[in-house]
Structure 1
Amino acid sequence: MSILSIATALLLSTTACTNSASIDDSPRPAGQGSEPTPAGKVATIYTTTGSGAQLLNMTKAEIFNGNNMAPSTIIVDPTQQFQTMDGFGFAITYSTCYNLLKMSADDRAAFLKQTYSETEGYGVSYARISIGCNDFSSTEYSLCDEPGLENFRLYTDETQYVIPILKEILDINPNVKIIAAPWTCPKWMKVADIDTKKAFDSWTDGHLNPDYRKDYAQYFVKFIAAMKQQGINIYAVSPQNEPLNKANCASLYMPWQEEAPFVAELASAFKKNGIVTKIYLFDHNYNYDNIEDQQDYPVKVYNALGNEFEGSELVVGSAYHDYGGKNTELTDIHTQAPDKELIFSESSIGTWNDGRNLSKRLMEDMKNVTLGTVNQWCKAVLVWNLMLDMNMGPNLDGGCQTCFGAVDISMDYKTITRNSHYYVISHMASVVRPDAQRIGVTQRSLTKNGLVYSAFRNPDGSYATVVLNNSDENITAVISDGQNHFRTVVPAQSVVSCKW
């Protein structure tokens, strides 16, 4: 696949959830005025079809002056303004970095440039890493396995794999934001329960000892400082990955009643140390793992903490995964806490959801993972491993051994297969720049169903739209911003991203 520039065209609906709509592709009626005048500009369009016939293929469409009045016109409406976007990206795990570092330097540079460059690639703008191990690390570990914070140090997974790859990514795109989350605290900080505080010597499950909340907050401070020494800024953290998941190979059970007092300590520690890293609560499933008293987890933390604690301005919002429940929970949380941010921080493909079948996954993932979260107030969308090998590894016992990467690499460490998650993130990132604002749209005489879309205005004043056609027929649309317009075809079962 050739390295691409950046795409462009328009669409969106103002509904909060799927922003579904349809288009009448009938010919322009007679009597609509004289032929339009070319504006001397073009829209850039990227197209991926579920059949694989087009894979982020780039085309151009001529832009014409005026507001086309054909029945099929969709007009972007910048007067309707929603959230400002932070970006789109992938998790950069040890396993991802292990596979990338097995590639030749030239092949790796070409792949990373195509993925992250804003001028020669798709402009992916966000990355997620772990604080200590995750289920795609070389082993279970924390950054302070010996008792006492004086024993804090980065592990070889960071120093030899994750940090070198992050540096290569940041050399390509210095604007990439990084969010970090722990899968577990150090084992010496764990207890079986917070009442008896009985020691709990296990990577899996356990609670954070309340007596170590201040120390654990300093653990985050040390991590952020250690990464900064490497030239890597941590934009955001969450206090605990999947806090209601007791079963991961490395995990820590942290219900909202325990996350709230820890977040207070964490925010205070950040404030005292001049750290402006954002804190996102929860970082788990839409359905709260069906635990009754954990429903609306982040809202309960907001209510418990109030707004008067030290560093409260750093607790900006909450993060969600999609391994249980429905993304309509995002709108519910936004309604309850409209002044707080939302991000979508993890989704995976694997054997359980036919993850290598593009014809099945492209439509579902574009609708639910990217457009379905962005249209419900998410400022960022991240999926799980950027790259795994064809054997779904390397991985750890007790973690996910049935996951595919957004990209799979063959065991020759040269041949790459891109899966749906690579396409849905790249379709968003290629036309929606950090600090873009999601905006509205008005519609004329739409009669055919099958479209889901979102539209944006970028910081440079350009417009962008990402459109999913879930129907079995091609749809022709005229896209207008009120001053200019262009025509584009959205093939059946496809995603089209446009920028102009």
Structure 2
Amino acid sequence: MKIQFDLKLILLAAVLCGFVACSDKNKDNGGVDEIPDTETGDVTIYVTTSNRAQDFKKHAVDFSEKSNMSPTTIKLEPNTRYQTMDGFGAAVTGSTCYNLMQMTAENRTKFLKETFSPTEGMGQSYIRISIGCSDFSLSEYTCCDVPGIENFGLTSEENDYVIPIIKEILAINPDIKILGSPWTSPRWMKVNNLTDLQPFNSWTSGQLNPAHYADYATYFVKWIQAFNAQGINIYSVTPQNEPLNRGNSASLFMGWEEQLEFVKNNLVPALKAASLNTKIYLFDHNYNYDNMADQNDYPVKIYDAGIDDELVAGAAYHNYGGDKSELLDIHGKYPEKELIFTETSIGTWNDGRNLEVRLIDDMREVALGTVNNWCRGVIVWNLMLDSERGPNREGGCQTCYGAVDIDRSNYSTITRNSHYYIIGHLSSVVKPGAVRIGTSGFADGGFYMSAFENTDGTYAVVLLNSNTASKLITLDDGSHHFSYEVPAKSVISYRWKK
């Protein structure tokens, strides 16, 4: 009898403890319990923690049946609408393609599906390739190194590496968007400056000879057509990568007045004459215009001077100088013009392989920072480099890491870095054509977020918790709500049907 009595006391105590625990939880979270984590449910969730305890781990939860009084509720405001999204991805450089081609076909397909498949992977949807060489190519070259535009032709780097890889990507994701950017014109088109107009036979620096503006426009047309002939559609181009940077291993200086003349009177007419509707994004360089006062507001100066509104979609930016607030300034001056973010790097200088350091900063500044400042697309530099930060060339970046790095000793072991995760957390839930929407409610200095409405009737939210503590966050779209414990120092992406 004593044993039975003690057992009853133990059971009663357990019930009372459970009641108190439940009551405390309801009190802390407005009556909303955390929904158990399951394999399938109403809401698909991806989580990456900076300590890699969760490595883009997939979860699911169900909608709550309870009324929502949680003080940590983020409420979606779908009537507040911002920009339409084009996509997210990385640069598929010559070096990237070389490394991918060293993998076994099976391993390469597995990685490309993980990266680009909308159904089996992250669904990355926008890539950048170089028109001719970049500083991450296997050699210095353009597609017309013999003087005379009639000598245009794709090279072995395109034919043996870049085009085969892009075809494999398109087989996985046929809707991938491709942006092309030149690092330099053919050297025979260059002059030392626009006053002396002396030939400048160098891969680095120089300016485009006005006498060859028409030839260079034809170069773009022939390059786009050559890729089209391979079944590869070029969605957009920029007239020049980093036009204010004379020092890159392949480079060409192109001030805003030169770009205005080239684009307005040469590139646009040439594309239209060839019946090409490829979008043009101006500038493609840093927020601070490399501290050149006469180049400040570079794209705005071109818009002010008058430019074709049919093909010139907007401007592209990098973050190697200045602050992302420049995007807001440009949008405020020309809100009808588009913005995209096309390059950022990690490397030895910013502890690029340390996810504890980079995941939070890169998500805040690059991914969410640019999207929340009106960018329609976000592209990072170099999808894949090897464990020796290459292949790279003298004069190019010797200290860069890729979004992923592959072990050069076996071309199978892959290290995924911050840029891979920040793009994946966007592309996995935010699909091309989605519209960024507003949010209200819970706000905390350590939390950053973007919310979207996809064209398929789903909502998406990407959330960064930069704090050292986890927090139970509730999302509410007006029809459904659910809660999930957001880990400390993590990025979390959600997607659910309205």
TM-score, length-scaled by structure 1: 0.91
Instruction: Work out the CA distance in 2 between the residues paired with 1:266 and 1:69.
Output: 57
What is the letter of the counterpart of residue 359 of structure 1? E
Tell me the distance in 2 between the aligned counterparts of 1:163 and 1:346.
21
CA separation of 1:34 and 1:256: change in aligned 2, threshold 3 A: closer
State how far apart, in whole Å, the 2-side matches of 1:496 and 1:133 are.
36
Residues 121-177 of structure 1, C-alpha deviation per residue, up to 9 Å, x if partnerless?
110001000000000111111110111111000011100000000000000000100
Q: In structure 2, how many angstroms separate the alpha carbons of the residues matched to 1:138 and 1:486? A: 50
**3-state DSSP class of the match of 1:63?**
coil
- Aligned equivalent of 1:99: 99
Could you tell me whether the CA contact under 8 Å between 1:90 and 1:127 is conserved in 2? yes
Counterparts of 2:388 and 2:94, CA distance in 1: 15
Q: 1:442 Cα shift?
A: 1.8
Instruction: Name the counterpart of 2:450.
Output: 454
Structure 1 position 258 matched with structure 2 position 273:
no
Say whether 1:283 aligns with 2:284.
yes
Identity across the alignment (%): 56
Offset of residue 262 of structure 1:
0.5
1:32 Cα deviation after fit: 7.4
Structure 1: distance between partners of 2:32 and 2:381: 51
Q: CA deviation at 1:37?
A: 12
Give the superposed CA RMSD. Answer: 1.9
Q: What is the correspondence of 1:27-426 to structure 2 with a 5 Å cutoff? A: 27-29=25-27, 41-64=41-64, 68-264=68-264, 265-304=266-305, 306-307=306-307, 311-411=308-408, 412-426=410-424
Letter in 1 for 2:53: A
Match for residue 439 of structure 1 among 420, 437, 454:
437
**Do the aligned partners of residues 476 and 229 (structure 1) sit closer, same or farther apart at CA in structure 2, a change above 3 Å counting?**
same
- Following superposition, the deviation at residue 364 of structure 1 comes to 0.3
Q: In structure 1, how many angstroms separate the alpha carbons of the residues matched to 2:420 and 2:32?
A: 43
Match of 1:494 in 2: 490
Instruction: Measure the CA separation in 1 of the matches of 2:451 and 2:33.
Output: 27
Which structure is richer in relative contact order (CA contacts within 8 A, separation 6 or more)? 1
Contact 2:471 2:487 in 1 (8 A): yes
Q: Name the SS of the counterpart of 2:411 in structure 1.
A: coil
Query: Would you say how many aligned residue pairs link Structure 1 and Structure 2?
Result: 468
Distance 2:348 2:34 in 1: 51
- Normalised TM-score (structure 2): 0.91
| Aligned-partner Cα distance in 1 for 2:29–2:288 | 54
* Map of 1:13 onto structure 2: none
Query: What letter corresponds to residue 76 of structure 1 in structure 2?
Result: L
Q: CA deviation at 1:195?
A: 2.3
* 2:398 partner letter: Q
Cα distance change on mapping 1:33 and 1:386 into 2, 3 Å: closer
Higher helix share: 2
- Tell me the secondary structure at the aligned position of residue 439 of structure 1: strand
Structure 1 residues not aligned, in runs of 5+: 1-25
Tell me the CA shift for residue 70 of structure 1.
2.1
Q: Which amino acid aligns with 2:255?
A: P
Letter paired with 2:241: N
Please give the secondary structure, in 1, of the residue aligned with 2:42. strand
Letter in 1 for 2:348: T
> Which amino acid is the alignment partner of residue 190 of structure 1?
K
The one-letter code of the counterpart of 1:112 is L
In structure 2, give the amino acid aligned to 1:87: G
- Which residue identity lines up with residue 370 of structure 2 in the other structure? T
How many angstroms apart in 1 are the aligned matches of 2:29 and 2:192? 77
Are the counterparts in 2 of residues 190 and 199 from structure 1 also a CA contact under 8 Å? yes
Asked if the contact 2:41–2:60 (Cα under 8 Å) also holds between the matched residues in 1, the reply is no
* Counterpart Cα distance in 2 of 1:324 and 1:54: 32
How far the C-alpha of 1:68 sits from its partner, in A, is 1.9
Query: What is the aligned counterpart of 2:426 among 428, 436, 449?
Result: 428
